[in-house]
């Protein structure tokens, strides 16, 4: 049996039936990382010894006959902007190259309580800013389906780790598509939970009104297991909320009305991607889902509004990297020089671009024209979603307008990279849950379809994805 | 189009040192992004309230109770002295 092909459910059954031990399972993944990470570069840090220690503990628990949590003994990977105590956390940035995490993120402590085995920390666009993982200060991650292509981003290392069978599942973070788009590019399920469903404590703040942590997995069932393990109110994140626990209901496709927003199928989409998404929609229709064409009239304004709000929040969040409290610190004659040199040399090009953009749109004389206007457009985008959700339960859209592109293809033109996020950013502006579902391949490259749900109906979209057979 | 002087001004506000050779690069890139953003001017936003948070949550409070576990965050600081973070002189 190839242990590195297993889902969470399959690995959990194997451990319970003692078909293999947690140590054997962990070793199989570490061997695969050893063999593949040179080429794929999914992991920035591998924590071999600690992982094996934890695997031994899991085996002890199994042989004790105690009731096992769903994730006990399951090897996993964590995006390197989420803190794991005592392990380096770089955010893919030179400014945090040697930074040691002093505590666990809430999601990490929840998963540790279940007995997961953390294999390591995964590569990302610096501070999660990007759509290809090429913005990492430590080098790009490659798509395991085709090594000349990007894995998507910013959670590209997490997606590549799972797609390359180097981890059973991984955590990512999604500010404008950073879980869904790499899941789509790597043929996986990726869930961006409802804003507030998962605690952000211990996630490096990027754009706080948009950021959410979520799972990247091989199946929708696995995504649901991880989501249930990490969600819930946390007193350390005052924006987190407790989900009203609805009793486990099987969702029948025939009970679902799905909207197809016409603004998501216009110029700019690869015709092959469009074809694949339309045939997935047909498959749902055959299974009994009622398909209704709907309109989200402000869709075209979501991306420009996002690229005001996101850099504005980022510019203030990243003010903390000042060379004083932690991280890189450059010498300077006066305090101002310490700031200027630490930040000027420690941040990469995309991070500096966004900090400058955000600083500009928040600066005196421009605030009303840019930031305030974008906040009002955000209100209109939320209103659009509210209107269509009076008529339908969920929305079906492509996750990304294009197939995984070549490494180097877009990196020199920042605006062309931003356009990759066109179908994913509205969801973050509105705080909605959404997932990317693998629906097949075009030219041997994976394609994903996005399912968008209403606030706190994360389980419903996961069940619907399960019904597809993913 | 932003001027090079404006780019330098923004960089200084953002506390980023900027090499002369990077001025033109950021001037071009920031200007093209700002041109793209211009299309928001077409949206009718009269009588629309701004959104800063996706859901309307009210102030969230909890008792401010000290916990036994403390992290030694000073260990992460580049320079410390007598249990404090050391910085450059700010007053002459």
The domain locations on chain A are 1-470
**A305: Cβ contacts below 8 Å, ≥ 6 apart:** A374, A377, A378, A381, A429, B40
What residues of chain B lie within 8 A of the CB of A99, using their CB?
A: 76
ipTM given for this complex: 0.94
Residue pLDDT, tens place only, A398-417: 999 999 999 999 999 999 99
* Binary contact (B73, A325; C-beta < 8 A): yes
Residue pLDDT, tens place only, A147-204: 999 999 999 999 999 999 999 999 999 999 999 999 999 999 999 999 999 999 999 9
* Interatomic CA distance for residues A229 and A224, integer angstroms: 9
**A11: Cβ contacts below 8 Å, ≥ 6 apart:** A3, A25, A73, A74, A168
Which of B17, B54, B60 has the CB atom closest to A195's CB atom?
B54
Q: The tokens of A395 are what?
A: 């929305």
pLDDT at residue A248, rounded to an integer: 56
Beta bridge partners of A121: A45, A78
Count other C-beta atoms under 10 Å from residue A362's C-beta.
Answer: 19
To the query of whether residue A88 is one of the catalytic residues in this protein, the response is: no
Residue among A93, A131, A136, A178 flagged as catalytic: A178
Best A195, A357, A422, A457 member to test B by mutation, with max B CBs in 10 Å, is: A357
C-alpha closest to that of A162 among A82, A98, A226, A113: A226
Q: The tokens of A230 are what?
A: 């990490």
Using CA atoms, how far residue A277 sits from A237, A350, A419, A467, in Å, is: 37, 31, 19, 16
* Binary contact (B43, A380; C-beta < 8 A): yes
Share the mean pLDDT of chain A.
96
What residues of chain B lie within 8 A of the CB of A431, using their CB?
A: 54-55
**A179: Cβ contacts below 8 Å, ≥ 6 apart:** A155, A158, A172, A173, A190, A191, A192, A214, A215, A216, A436
* Interatomic CA distance for residues A88 and A86, integer angstroms: 7
Cβ neighbourhood burial of A388 (10 Å; 0-12, 13-18, 19+): middle
Q: Which CATH number fits domain A1-470: 3.90.550.40, 3.50.50.60, 3.40.50.2300, 3.90.1300.10?
A: 3.90.1300.10
* Interatomic CA distance for residues B90 and A413, integer angstroms: 40
What residues of chain A lie within 8 A of the CB of B26, using their CB?
A: 352-353, 356
Beta bridge partners of A217: A189
Long-range contacts for A60-65 (Cβ within 8 Å, ≥24 apart)? A61/A115, A62/A15, A62/A16, A62/A18, A62/A21, A62/A22
List, as ranges, residues 395-434 from A with C-beta within 8 Å of B.
Answer: 414-415, 418, 429-431
Contact A453, A461 (CB under 8 A): yes
Residue pLDDT, tens place only, A32-41: 999 999 999 9
* Structure confidence at residue A1 as a pLDDT band (50, 70, 90): confident
Angle at A117 between CA A214 and CA A221, to 5 degrees: 45
* Interatomic CA distance for residues A15 and A157, integer angstroms: 27
Instruction: HSE, CB side, 13 Å, CA atoms: give it for residue A14.
Output: 21
Residue pLDDT, tens place only, A18-70: 999 999 999 999 999 999 999 999 999 999 999 999 999 999 999 999 899 99
* Structure confidence at residue A246 as a pLDDT band (50, 70, 90): low
* Interatomic CA distance for residues A388 and A402, integer angstroms: 26
What residues of chain B lie within 8 A of the CB of A380, using their CB?
A: 43, 45, 48
Q: How far is CA A10 from the centre of its chain?
A: 23
Beta bridge partners of B85: B80
Beta bridge partners of A292: A259
Any chain B CB within 8 A of the CB of A380?
A: yes
Contact B50, B40 (CB under 8 A): no
User: What are the two backbone dihedrals, phi and then psi, of residue B30, each rounded to the nearest 5 degrees?
Assistant: -65, -40
* Interatomic CA distance for residues A291 and A205, integer angstroms: 38
Contact A253, A464 (CB under 8 A): yes
* Interatomic CA distance for residues A233 and A239, integer angstroms: 8
Residue pLDDT, tens place only, A280-330: 999 999 999 999 999 999 999 999 999 999 999 999 999 999 999 999 999
Contact A432, A420 (CB under 8 A): no
pLDDT at residue B61, rounded to an integer: 87
- In chain A, the residue whose alpha carbon lies closest to the alpha carbon of B37 is A304
Residue pLDDT, tens place only, A95-142: 999 999 999 999 999 999 999 999 999 999 999 999 999 999 999 999
């Amino acid at each position: 049996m190839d242990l590195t092909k297993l889902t969470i459910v399959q690995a959990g059954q194997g451990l319970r039936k003692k078909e293999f031990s947690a140590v054997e399972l962990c070793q199989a993944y570490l061997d695969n990382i050893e063999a593949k990470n040179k080429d794929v570069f999914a992991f920035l840090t591998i924590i071999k010894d600690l992982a094996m220690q934890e695997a031994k503990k899991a085996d002890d628990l199994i042989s004790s006959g105690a009731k096992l949590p769903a994730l006990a003994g399951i090897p996993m990977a964590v995006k390197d902007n989420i803190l794991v105590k005592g392990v380096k956390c770089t955010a893919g940035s030179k400014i945090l190259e040697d930074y040691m995490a002093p505590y666990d993120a809430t999601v990490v402590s929840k998963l540790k309580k279940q007995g997961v085995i953390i294999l390591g920390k995964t590569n990302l666009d610096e501070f999660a800013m990007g759509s290809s993982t090429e913005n990492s200060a430590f080098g790009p991650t490659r798509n395991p389906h085709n090594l000349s292509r990007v894995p998507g981003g910013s959670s590209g290392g997490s997606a590549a780790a799972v797609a390359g069978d180097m981890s059973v599942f991984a955590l990512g973070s999604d500010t404008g598509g950073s879980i869904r788009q790499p899941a789509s590019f790597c043929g996986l399920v990726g869930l961006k939970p409802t804003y507030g469903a998962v605690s952000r404590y211990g996630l490096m703040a990027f754009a706080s009104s948009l950021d959410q942590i979520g799972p990247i997995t091989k199946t929708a069932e696995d995504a649901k297991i991880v989501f249930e393990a990490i969600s819930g109110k946390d007193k350390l994140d005052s924006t987190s909320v407790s989900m009203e626990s609805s009793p486990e209901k099987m969702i029948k496709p025939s009970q679902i009305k799905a909207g197809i927003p016409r603004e998501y199928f216009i110029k700019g989409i690869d015709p092959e991607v469009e074809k694949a998404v339309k045939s997935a929609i047909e498959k749902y229709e055959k299974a009994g889902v009622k398909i209704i064409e709907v309109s989200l009239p402000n869709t075209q304004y979501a991306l420009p509004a996002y690229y005001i709000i996101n850099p504005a929040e980022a510019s203030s969040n990243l003010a903390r990297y000042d060379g004083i409290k932690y991280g890189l610190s450059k010498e300077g004659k006066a305090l101002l020089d310490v700031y200027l040199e630490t930040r000027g040399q420690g941040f990469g090009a995309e991070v500096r671009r966004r900090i400058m953009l955000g600083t500009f749109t928040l600066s005196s004389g421009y605030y009303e024209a840019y930031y305030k206007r974008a906040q009002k457009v955000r209100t209109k985008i939320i209103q659009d979603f509210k209107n269509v959700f009076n008529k339908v339960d969920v929305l079906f859209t492509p996750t990304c307008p294009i197939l995984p592109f070549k490494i180097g293809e877009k990196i020199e033109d920042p605006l062309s990279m931003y356009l990759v996020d066109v179908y994913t950013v509205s969801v973050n502006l509105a705080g909605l849950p959404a997932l990317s579902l693998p629906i097949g391949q075009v030219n041997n490259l994976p394609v994903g379809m996005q399912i968008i749900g209403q606030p706190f109906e994360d389980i419903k979209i996961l069940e619907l994805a399960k019904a597809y057979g993913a | 189009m932003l001027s090079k002087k404006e780019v330098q001004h923004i960089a200084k506000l953002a506390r980023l040192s900027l090499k002369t050779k990077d001025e033109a690069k950021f001037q071009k890139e920031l200007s093209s992004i700002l041109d793209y953003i211009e299309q928001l001017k077409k949206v009718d936003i009269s009588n629309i309230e701004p959104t800063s948070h996706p859901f309307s949550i009210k102030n969230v409070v909890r008792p401010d109770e000290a916990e036994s576990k403390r992290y030694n965050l000073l260990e992460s600081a580049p320079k410390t002295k007598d249990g404090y973070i050391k910085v450059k002189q700010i007053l002459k």
